[in-house]
A = this chain, B = another copy of it.
């Protein structure tokens, strides 16, 4: 069983540049199992049991996606609603995620300056973290420092390659720790 479950949610995989490069850089790691939601469920018919099984088997849960309207894309939000339910993820008997580590990986079109009070998004990135962070926490997961790549639309090839390397190192280190 792969100890790291990477739940990938890109609404337009073929238009992706940064997320795709990041995904490709880690998908071959033996410790990682990838579930690409928009490929698996183009019509939003999530197989809740399969998703819960994959979650239960993992030690580390990664949510990777481009930031859409300051949050997760629609299908990943639907996945939260359908998969992270009472009796599985919280409430009575809902202990399946407890103690797992959770890493949020997201890319933004806007650069870091855009995510500041004077910037066009009017808030630092940290203002948009609580809903995702608290969802993980409510399920008893340990929150890792998020991996955020800003400026995904305009990042040049060299900077992207460097970020991709940084991502792979991060995932390798998570995987090593999980296998201990």
Q: Does A81 contact B (CB under 8 A)?
A: yes
**How many subunits of this chain does the assembly comprise?**
2
Q: Is the CB of A77 within 8 A of B69?
A: yes
| Pairwise interchain contact A78-B71, C-beta atoms closer than 8 A | no
A70-B137 CB under 8 A given contacts A77-B77, A128-B130, A130-B123: no
**Which bracket fits the contact residues of A?**
20 to 34
A130-B123, A134-B122 as given contacts; A74 in contact with B77, CB under 8 Å: yes
Residues of B within 8 A of A84 (CB): 69
Question: Chain B residues with Cβ under 8 A from A71's Cβ?
Answer: 71, 77, 131
Q: Is A146 an interface residue (CB 8 A)?
A: no
- In the complex, are the beta carbons of A81 and B70 less than 8 A apart? no
Interface membership of A17, Cβ < 8 A: no
Chain B neighbourhood of A78, CB < 8 A: 44, 73-75, 77-78
- Cβ of A168 under 8 Å from chain B: no
- Residues 54-96 of A contacting B (Cβ, < 8 Å): 68-75, 77-82, 84
- In the assembled complex, the Cα of A128 lies from the Cα of B79 at a distance in Å of 19
When distances are taken between beta carbons in the complex, the residues of chain B under 8 Å from A123 are 130, 134
Query: Does A11 sit within 8 A of B, measured CB to CB?
Result: yes
> Is A135 an interface position by the 8 A CB rule?
yes
- How far does the Cβ of A2 sit from chain B's closest Cβ, in whole Å? 25
Query: A residues engaging B (CB < 8 A)?
Result: 11, 43-45, 68-75, 77-82, 84, 120-123, 127-128, 130-131, 134-135, 137-138
